[in-house]
Amino acid sequence: MIYCPKCGTANRQGSKFCNECGAPLPATGLRCPMCGAMNPAGNLYCDRCSARLIPAERVPPEEEKPERPSPPKGISLPSVPLGEEEWLSELRAEALDLAPEEETPGWPGELEAPGEPPTPETAIPEWLAELEAPAAPPAPEAAIPEWLAELEAPAAPPTPEAPPPEAAIPEWLVGLEAPAAPPAPEAPPPEAAIPEWLVGLEAPAAPPAPEAPPPEAAIPEWLVELEETVPEAPPPAEKPTPPLAGIPVPPSGEIPEWLRDVEFAPPIQEEPSAQPPPVAEVDVHAGMPSASTTVPPILIEGEEEILSTAPAEIPDWLKEAPAEAPPEYGGLVPAEIPEWLRPLQPREGVAVEEEPTETEGFLSGLRGLLPIGKGLDMPATAQPLLPRAPRPAAVARAELLQGLLSRPLITPPTAEIREAPRQSGWVLTRFLVGVILLAAILLPMLVRLPLFGPPTAPTAEALFATVNQLPGNTPVLIAWEYGPAESDEMDRVAGPLIEHLLRREARLIVVSTRMEGPAAAEALLASRLVDPSERSRRIANLGYLPGQAAGVREALGNLGGRTEAMTGLPASQLDIMADVHSIADVGMVVILAAQPDDLKTWLEQISVANPNVPVVAGVSARIELISTPYLAAGQLRGMVAGLTGGAVYERQLDTGWGREYEYYLTSLGMAQLAIAALTVIGALIFLVGGRKR
């Protein structure tokens, strides 16, 4: 909670302005300039890094402190989760009830004994009457608090009688009594029941009292001086108004012994006409709760001195003493205020700051019980520890972040990418390239262009020689690894080779690891087979081999266990497969592949299964470079690569150059020239103008 310095309203922690009046609220914490940790107000050094929170030169001197803005009017204690003691709850409730009705402060109102109804109509309470009764034995000196005894000393000789039993002392009075209670061996006061805050108040005023000490010995030097100045203070002409008037007093049986010497005056509403003696101004109760309550002067029986426990109740004489000549009271001249007391004297024109009222905890309703944290209001007057203006880099980052956050979401530019090719330039360029390619391909069909001579392919010639060496009726395993997508090229590669094998009376056993392979094989075989009735005797299409490399490996070891794809008959029932059970029974392996992986798979698995079987290949021009090392290493006995290799092989078959191959080769050459020309033109355009863009 933060209390408004203007109206005192409690505001939520962290609030900057008062919810009630809008006044700015003081900061309740200090941020360390070194580590940035938040420290409670009043810290001079950081709890985390011990750096100084407030520059030494900025700590205002004591003279400037009154000029600082008013500190917050309350320091809230943390709420006590434990159950409040019953007597405190009742005291608070009654204090709240009594406070608006009477001018009396709160805490004397709380002095009411629990359960005892107030007795406002009686001028003198019963128990006070008992106190006033002459039969009441004088309080022994041992029962008088030392600080009271010191004040009492000049006129109150100690009485040796034993103190009455203290078992009836209520807890709330024990706390008051304890500070002055000497260590009596008999029935010590039950300190365990004293609240902590009262124990703290008790401590400073509880010096160890010697046994029957002389009154003079307990008087401090400064009091001795005062006492010398006022050796014999006569009692005032009139008794001051007993402030405890109207306050219910506990029954006499519960009155502590030391209080029995105190006389509670009857309730008189008049102001005391006589000034209290200067001795009363000595704040010997500095440790007592200095709440806003007006502590009533306590009359000690046998003495006329008035003890004031409230520093705020500084009598007027102290305010006016320096200004005018001190009046005499029965020949008693007020003494001058000692030098050390002058700072306590209220100044003219300076309003006394009102102590904050506690609003939480069991001290709620009391005022001035806890000191305001030192330096709580320091941030109000101190120089800002951090630079007021942010650094430019931080500002730039903040602006960048703000800009990014305020920017609308960017959708993927898929539509723009799709729209880009639809630009007229792109469409025109693509159309021109397509037209040029088509013209280059179609032109040889219309006009015979003797631009290219007969191709050469040594590898195809080597393959032709290898096939020529095959004996008749040799089983040849053909790995058909291409489909319709590559058939325009691969049919021109595989066609001459298949026809050559058929001419050599070879038995063709076709398998494929591609699903479309068997169908593509069947189409080409049917076109090259002169007599379709001989198919079952010359061709066995064993179909698709699932499992990639593992399937190939399995098929190479179990060719006889497969099924013919077209007829559905087991391979073992085919005449063509009568003596073929595995790769060991095959005279040659032909690999027709359009993809490099297919060629490698077959070559590798054949090398494992039967490295001695001759292997030849008909491959696409795409994998010619990859196939060449196998040819150089001797793993391939021959190879037909691309349309050129097919054309050479076709020519080796003595079928001559057909019109189809002439057209294909010429069109391919023209298309290659067109592509080369387009590449050069595009590169020139890029070098001239495109790179500038």
Residues that bind other proteins (CB under 8 A): 418, 421-422, 426-427, 430-431, 433-434, 437-438, 441-442, 445, 485-489, 492, 515-516, 518-519, 543-544, 546-550, 553, 562-563, 565, 568, 570, 594, 600-601, 603-608, 611, 620-625, 629-630, 632-635, 642-643, 660, 663-664, 667-668, 671-672, 675
In terms of C-beta density within 10 A (0-12 exposed, 13-18 middle, 19 or more buried), how is residue 408 classed?
A: exposed
- The residue among 223 and 621 lying less far from other proteins, judged by its C-beta, is 621
- The residue among 299 and 665 lying less far from other proteins, judged by its C-beta, is 665
**CB 400 to other proteins: min, Å:** 35
**Rounded to whole angstroms, how far apart are CA atoms 369 and 377?**
19
Contacts of range 601-604, beta carbons closer than 8 Å, 24 or more positions apart: 601/513, 601/548, 601/549, 601/552, 602/479, 602/481, 602/552, 603/630, 603/635, 603/636, 604/549
- The residue among 252 and 601 lying less far from other proteins, judged by its C-beta, is 601
**Rounded to whole angstroms, how far apart are CA atoms 203 and 209?**
13
- The residue among 204 and 629 lying less far from other proteins, judged by its C-beta, is 629
**CB 616 to other proteins: min, Å:** 15
Q: How far is CA 191 from CA 162, 172, 180, in A?
A: 21, 11, 13
**CB 534 to other proteins: min, Å:** 21
- The residue among 329 and 480 lying less far from other proteins, judged by its C-beta, is 480
CA dihedral (290, 296, 300, 303) positive or negative: positive
**CB 524 to other proteins: min, Å:** 13
| Nearest-10 crossing angle of helices 487-503, 642-652 | 20
SS3 510: strand
Q: Residues for the chain: how many in total?
A: 693
**CB 539 to other proteins: min, Å:** 18
Residue keyed to tokens 């005192």? 8
Chain mean position to CA 541: 69
**CB 515 to other proteins: min, Å:** 4
Those residues whose C-beta lies under 8 Å from the C-beta of residue 373, and which sit 6 or more positions away, are: 40, 41, 42, 75
Those residues whose C-beta lies under 8 Å from the C-beta of residue 264, and which sit 6 or more positions away, are: 124, 125, 128, 131, 242, 244, 245, 249, 299
- The residue among 581 and 600 lying less far from other proteins, judged by its C-beta, is 600
**CB 508 to other proteins: min, Å:** 20
Residue 188 has phi, psi (to 5 degrees) of -65, 155
CA torsion, ordered 479, 480, 481, 482, to nearest 10 deg: 170
- The residue among 182 and 642 lying less far from other proteins, judged by its C-beta, is 642
**CB 620 to other proteins: min, Å:** 5
- The residue among 402 and 573 lying less far from other proteins, judged by its C-beta, is 573
**Rounded to whole angstroms, how far apart are CA atoms 600 and 584?**
20
**Rounded to whole angstroms, how far apart are CA atoms 31 and 35?**
8
For residue 687, give the amino acid letter. Answer: L
- The residue among 214 and 413 lying less far from other proteins, judged by its C-beta, is 413
**CB 477 to other proteins: min, Å:** 16
- The residue among 381 and 607 lying less far from other proteins, judged by its C-beta, is 607
- Strands 507-512 and 539-544: what pairing? parallel
Q: How far is CA 83 from CA 87, 175, 691, in A?
A: 12, 20, 85
**CB 581 to other proteins: min, Å:** 15
- The residue among 206 and 556 lying less far from other proteins, judged by its C-beta, is 556
**CB 441 to other proteins: min, Å:** 5
Identify any residues that bridge with 507 across adjacent strands, giving them in sequence order. Answer: 475
- The residue among 239 and 622 lying less far from other proteins, judged by its C-beta, is 622
- The residue among 428 and 465 lying less far from other proteins, judged by its C-beta, is 428
For residue 191, give the amino acid letter. Answer: E
**CB 406 to other proteins: min, Å:** 37
- The residue among 35 and 445 lying less far from other proteins, judged by its C-beta, is 445
- The residue among 147 and 661 lying less far from other proteins, judged by its C-beta, is 661
Q: What stretch of H or E contains 641?
A: strand 638-641
Helices (H), 529-658: 535-538, 548-557, 596-609, 624-632, 642-652
**Rounded to whole angstroms, how far apart are CA atoms 641 and 493?**
7
Closest CA to 511 of 543, 481, 550, 539: 543
**CB 427 to other proteins: min, Å:** 6
Q: How far is CA 576 from CA 508, 529, 551, 580, in A?
A: 8, 16, 22, 8
Identify any residues that bridge with 332 across adjacent strands, giving them in sequence order. Answer: 329
**CB 675 to other proteins: min, Å:** 7
**CB 623 to other proteins: min, Å:** 8
Residue 300 has phi, psi (to 5 degrees) of -100, 130
CB atoms within 10 A of CB 593: 29
